[in-house]
Amino acid sequence: MTIPQASMRWDRMYPRAKQRFPHLRSESVPSLAGDRDGFVAYLARTHHLTLREAREEVDDFLFTESLHAELDT
């Protein structure tokens, strides 16, 4: 599964992702944008979360982003 969907572009999501996940590094994250499992593992590693916690954070973030995308259309 990929992180950005058709209406959810990573370049628009990144500033909010950086605010929510302060240890994101722009040089590392774009390569993970199309790989949800990789992104979850990256968050777990860089934010001291378990894989389950990171997965839940990503799910919550993507839900919030889907609301932003809906408002933008």
- Of residues 8 and 64, which shows the higher confidence score? 64
The contacts of residue 68 (CB under 8 Å, 6+ apart) are 12, 13, 16
Domain spans of the chain?
Answer: 10-72
| pLDDT tens digit sequence for 17-70 | 999 999 998 888 766 667 889 999 999 999 999 999 999 999 999 999 889 888
Bin 21: left if φ > 0, else alpha if -120 < ψ < 50, else beta.
beta
Other CB atoms within a 10 A radius of the CB of residue 61 amount to 18
Task: Find, among 73, 61, 70, 47, the residue nearest to 3 by Cα.
Answer: 61
CA distance 45 to 66: 25
